[in-house]
Amino acid sequence: MLKVAEGWTIFLDRDGVINKRNFEGYIERIDQFSFLDGAEQAIVNFNKLFQYTFVVTNQQGVGKGIMTDRNLSELHGYMLEELKKCSANITKIYYSPDLKANPDNTRKPKPDMALKAQQEFGGVDFEKSVMVGDTDGDIAFGRNLGMTTVLIRSKEIVTEKADYEFDSLLEFSKNITKHA
């Protein structure tokens, strides 16, 4: 059971954590986006436990020209609207369009997206933050910043050791308590 207190932050990967991941390619359009079971309720639960709920996502499909920033913005707008219908809120979405091959990329596990969130929202303390993901890059991202890490198990082979492992975002959200 993870114990959090006032002022904690949660960072969520998108594909494979919030929505079904396309292991053969990218989620390019709204009709390809499908929430994982219980993800919306999990975010409602997180909103009661955490000061901020951020999404941090690598989106190299933009860098490859498979989709545009506008396509991605429309997709994220759809996700946020669907979440709003359930009274779930994402504070802000951060994404990296960079290619893995670019040595100056801002992709996870590099800290750029989290540092930007910290800069824009002064109350973000990484030692009071949780990173939830389904890949080695997600877990390394959280660990590199001193966050508590949570792995959502999938068919992805992960070698990084997370602090916690769960089968779904909803299951994880039911294993958090808030204390004074």
- Rounded to an integer, the average pLDDT of 152-176 is 96
Judge contact between 111 and 144, C-beta under 8 A. yes
Tokens of 128: 């009071």
Which pTM was predicted? Answer: 0.96
Q: For 38, which DSSP code?
A: T
Point out the residues that are catalytic.
13, 15
Query: What rounded mean pLDDT belongs to the chain?
Result: 95
Contact 139, 160 (CB under 8 A): yes
User: What are the Cα distances from residue 146, in Å, to 6, 128, 142?
Assistant: 18, 9, 6
Confidence of residue 24 (pLDDT cuts 50, 70, 90): confident
Instruction: Give per-residue pLDDT as tens, 85-138.
Output: 999 999 999 999 999 899 999 999 999 999 999 999 988 999 999 999 999 999
Percent of all residues in the chain with a pLDDT value above 90, rounded to a whole number: 87
Inform me whether the pLDDT recorded for 153 exceeds 90.
yes
